[in-house]
């Protein structure tokens, strides 16, 4: 696992992130790919085993996409929708216009400041 990721996210592999959970009842680690709509799961009985299963699940997903001639879904497309309400939308649209920025540029700059 990587120090810069939340505890419940397995490290990056080929551009994909995966969750990590543990069930004490079954003594199994398990997870699924994150930030994509496709359901890809994996499990292991140790952290090392979970990491290996995660990487194999990514490889299997990519192989299946190639076999079927479809483009694999990628996390973080670069756009997302946020519902903020009419009043906040009005305020930030006016603030962006005052600065001579598009709404996208205004919001992007604000998010860059806090991330």
Q: What is the CATH number assigned to the segment(s) 9-68?
A: 3.30.160
Residues 56-87 pLDDT 10s:
999 999 999 999 999 999 999 888 889 999 99
CA distances from 45 to 11, 30, 77, 94, 102 (A): 17, 9, 33, 54, 50
CA distances from 105 to 2, 52, 111 (A): 31, 40, 10
Residue 13: name the closest of 64, 66, 43, 53 by CA: 53
Rg of the chain (C-alpha set): 19
At residue 78's C-alpha, the angle toward residues 37 and 63, to 5°, is: 45
Average of per-residue pLDDT values in the chain = 92
pTM: 0.75
Domain chopping of the chain, boundaries: 9-68, 81-115
């Amino acid at each position: 696992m990587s120090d810069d990721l939340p505890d419940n996210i397995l490290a990056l592999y080929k551009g994909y992130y995966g969750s990590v959970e543990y069930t004490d009842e079954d003594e199994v680690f398990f997870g699924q790919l994150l930030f994509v709509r496709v359901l890809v799961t994996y499990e292991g009985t140790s952290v090392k085993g979970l990491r290996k299963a995660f990487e194999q699940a990514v490889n299997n997903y990519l192989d299946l996409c190639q076999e079927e001639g479809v483009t694999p879904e990628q996390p973080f497309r670069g756009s997302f929708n946020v519902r903020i309400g009419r009043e906040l939308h009005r305020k930030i649209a006016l603030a962006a216009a005052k600065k001579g920025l598009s709404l996208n540029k205004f919001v992007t700059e604000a998010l860059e400041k806090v991330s």
